[in-house]
């Protein structure tokens, strides 16, 4: 494999011995040398690619420890993204524009990734506004996991009427005659939201392949080179994993993915896992699909449905059902016996305490002996339960869900409770492994820089200050959670998350210097050059000549083709001089009234 030299940069290695260097040598998918130009030049040979970074900042490839990347890949080309859209006016205009492009039989759908608080108007759309924008084309618009809007054309397409039953934990709002209005509410369970979404048309196999490649490239645009997939509702193993498996086999997977398996049917979870532990094993695919890994990570985040406590802060905290302990113990016992790492979705301390009762009982019978496991989310975890997690050798993966719905949390639980939700500083001080992510794409947006902004400033998308200065992280601490910290959760911290010799050559050259820009400017950072295993997977601006071959969008009417993914108005073109040396040169709360 051709050697690459990166020169004249501000390269954050995240290593202990040399936190910043100016040059790297890359070969065979890994970092060969890190230091100054004099240090890496001896590795230059015939055919070496030399890139002058022009003083730009370089960070290790970002690693989202909780991203629903496989499911979103299968659906990305179907979705109009409101991620980053600055106003409701712009968002409604996007609906109108996409309606003119959407063929008969298809829907305009906005599936999470946005918050009412990001809009200048600081409110949700109304059904009247949505119906005006889309009088004839069916539409489904999901806001976090608290509600969805279906327009009149969508109600007709789904055949919703007086006799349509609610789903336990969810409600169809109805008019005086008992007919659904189009507002679908999680009260508090999100099951009704994704059960309704699952009735909409799907892409064909070839379109899903294109959609997945488009989404991975979109992640690369933000500097993401790795993701840990947490499974998801209606994400069936192994069928829905086939596209990523095929791309990995062909060397076209531009994000390294470790995936966890998510039980799909309530009260049948043990049967799922008993089948899966015979079909695959954690880490087995890593060597097969190198250099771009696609490997089984373990079980979760949904080990059993009875343990799910939905993160819907608009609604009261749900109580877990009495059968949870027995169901969870059975699944965890199986996984520990088979040495399967696992993760557990748990938002509230009350749920975490009951989960830990189960884990401690299992560990007394079947010692964990260093088996990796962790909680996802843990917004209200207590000091007592942190000590219990530490004693059992567990970790915690946090996400910036509070950035999207912190105002709702404050309204229900108060400002003081929000100041340590989640208690990031306490987790670090306890020495518990900690990784960062987004929980995209339905609960939050996939832009990692929004998450880093939240970690550094303690602010929501709407500007509400959640955390006092003493609870916030400095920029290096925050970045470490998105690099080496997240690597722990796929057992890759020895080779991932740092730019040191022997580590993966996964990195991102940034539009701005993350370490010195203003706090608000962090949200606007993107990558101008992203490498995975030393290979260019994204290049823009001054590095555009290195960009991979363009990939047309399929189907052509996809919102991605005309409106892109993350809101393009947030993308700044920052031209700057760069020298490419070729080998020849050596060289307020939203309204509750109908949305």
Q: pLDDT by residue (tens digit) across 59-69?
A: 999 999 999 99
- In this predicted structure, the answer to whether residue 72 has a pLDDT above a threshold of 70 is yes
**Residues facing residue 299 across a β-bridge:** 261, 342
CA separation for the pair 485, 18 (Å, rounded): 18
Strands 57-60 and 507-510: antiparallel
Per-residue pLDDT, 172: 98
Per-residue pLDDT, 592: 36
Per-residue pLDDT, 17: 85
Per-residue pLDDT, 294: 87
Q: pLDDT by residue (tens digit) across 262-276?
A: 999 999 999 999 999
Q: pLDDT by residue (tens digit) across 463-472?
A: 999 999 999 9
Three state DSSP letters for 26-61: EECCEEEEEECHHHHHHHCCCCCEEEECCCCEEEEC
CA separation for the pair 356, 371 (Å, rounded): 15
- Which has more confidence, 590 or 501? 501
Mean pLDDT of 363-387: 98
Is residue 474 within 8 Å of 35, Cβ to Cβ? no
Q: pLDDT by residue (tens digit) across 504-544?
A: 999 999 999 999 999 999 999 999 999 999 999 999 999 99
Q: Which residues contact 552 (CB under 8 A, 6 or more apart)?
A: 561
Is residue 561 within 8 Å of 516, Cβ to Cβ? no
CA separation for the pair 115, 125 (Å, rounded): 11
Q: pLDDT by residue (tens digit) across 551-585?
A: 999 999 999 999 999 997 633 333 333 333 433 33
Helices assigned H by DSSP within 285-393 = 324-337, 349-365, 383-391
**What's the sign of the alpha-carbon dihedral 78, 83, 88, 89?**
negative
Is residue 262 within 8 Å of 235, Cβ to Cβ? yes
Helices assigned H by DSSP within 82-203 = 88-99, 127-133, 152-158, 191-197
What is this structure's pTM?
0.94
Which has the closest alpha carbon to 131: 187, 173, 92, 78? 92
* 3-class DSSP assignment, residue 63: strand
Which has the closest alpha carbon to 251: 223, 292, 190, 210? 292
Q: At what angle do helices 349-365 and 324-337 cross, to 10 degrees?
A: 50
Q: At what angle do helices 383-391 and 349-365 cross, to 10 degrees?
A: 20
Per-residue pLDDT, 285: 59
Mean pLDDT of 8-22: 95
CA separation for the pair 109, 198 (Å, rounded): 12
CA separation for the pair 207, 49 (Å, rounded): 35
> What does the longest C-alpha to C-alpha distance in the chain come to?
79
To 5 degrees, how large is the angle CA 80–CA 81–CA 87? 110
Q: pLDDT by residue (tens digit) across 164-192?
A: 999 999 999 999 999 999 999 999 999 99
CA separation for the pair 187, 170 (Å, rounded): 5
Average pLDDT, the chain: 93
Q: pLDDT by residue (tens digit) across 100-146?
A: 999 999 999 999 999 999 999 999 999 999 999 999 999 999 999 99
% of the chain at pLDDT higher than 70: 94
């Amino acid at each position: 494999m051709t050697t690459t030299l990166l020169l004249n940069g501000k390269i954050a290695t995240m290593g202990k011995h040399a936190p910043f260097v100016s040059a790297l040598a890359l070969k065979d998918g890994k970092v060969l040398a890190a230091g100054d130009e004099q240090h890496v030049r001896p590795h230059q040979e015939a055919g070496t690619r030399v890139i002058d970074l022009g003083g730009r900042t370089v960070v290790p490839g970002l690693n989202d420890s909780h991203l629903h990347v496989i499911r979103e890949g299968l659906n990305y080309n179907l979705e109009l993204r409101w991620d980053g859209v600055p106003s409701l006016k712009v968002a409604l205009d996007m609906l109108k524009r996409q309606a003119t492009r959407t063929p008969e039989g298809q829907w305009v759908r906005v599936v999470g990734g946005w918050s009412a608080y990001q809009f200048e108007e600081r409110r949700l759309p109304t059904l009247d506004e949505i119906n005006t924008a889309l009088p004839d084309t069916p539409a489904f618009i999901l806001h976090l996991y608290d509600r969805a809007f279906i327009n009149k054309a969508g109600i007709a397409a789904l055949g919703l009427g007086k006799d349509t039953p609610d789903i336990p934990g969810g409600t169809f709002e109805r008019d005086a005659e008992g007919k659904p209005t189009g507002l679908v509410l999680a009260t508090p369970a999100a099951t009704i939201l994704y059960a309704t979404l699952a009735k909409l048309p799907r892409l064909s196999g070839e379109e899903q392949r294109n959609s997945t490649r488009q989404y991975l490239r979109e992640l690369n645009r933000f500097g993401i080179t790795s993701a840990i997939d947490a499974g998801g509702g209606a994400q069936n193993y192994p069928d829905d994993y086939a596209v990523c498996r095929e791309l990995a086999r062909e060397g076209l997977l531009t994000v390294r993915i470790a995936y966890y398996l998510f039980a799909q049917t309530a009260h049948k979870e043990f049967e799922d896992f008993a089948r899966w532990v015979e079909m695959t094993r954690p880490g087995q695919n890593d060597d097969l699909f190198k250099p771009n890994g696609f490997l089984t990570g373990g079980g979760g985040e949904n080990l059993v449905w009875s343990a799910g406590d939905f993160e819907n802060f608009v609604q009261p905290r749900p109580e877990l059902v009495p059968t949870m302990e027995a169901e969870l113990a059975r699944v965890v016992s199986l996984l520990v016996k088979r040495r399967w790492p696992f993760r557990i979705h748990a938002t509230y301390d009350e749920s975490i305490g009951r989960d830990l009762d189960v884990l401690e009982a299992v560990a007394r019978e079947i010692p964990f002996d260093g088996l990796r496991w962790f909680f996802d989310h843990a917004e209200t975890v207590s000091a007592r339960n942190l000590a219990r997690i530490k004693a059992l050798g567990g970790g915690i993966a946090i996400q910036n869900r509070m950035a999207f719905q912190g105002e709702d949390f404050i309204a229900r639980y108060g400002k003081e409770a929000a100041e340590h939700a989640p208690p990031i500083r306490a987790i670090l001080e306890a020495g518990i492994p900690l990784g960062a992510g987004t929980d995209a794409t339905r609960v939050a947006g996939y832009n990692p820089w929004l998450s880093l902004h939240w970690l550094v400033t303690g602010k929501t998308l709407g500007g509400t200050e959640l955390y006092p200065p003493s609870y916030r992280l400095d920029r290096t601490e925050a970045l470490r959670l998105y690099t080496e910290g997240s690597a722990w959760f796929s057992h890759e911290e020895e080779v991932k998350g740092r730019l040191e010799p022997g580590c993966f050559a996964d990195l991102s050259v940034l539009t701005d210097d993350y370490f010195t820009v203003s706090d608000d400017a962090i949200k606007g950072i993107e990558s101008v050059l992203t490498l995975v295993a030393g290979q260019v997977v994204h290049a823009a601006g001054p590095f555009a000549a290195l960009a991979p071959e363009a990939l047309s969008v399929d189907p052509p009417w996809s919102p991605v083709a005309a409106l892109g993914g993350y809101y393009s108005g947030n993308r700044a073109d920052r031209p700057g001089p760069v020298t490419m040396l070729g080998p020849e040169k050596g060289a307020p709360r939203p309204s509750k009234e109908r949305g």
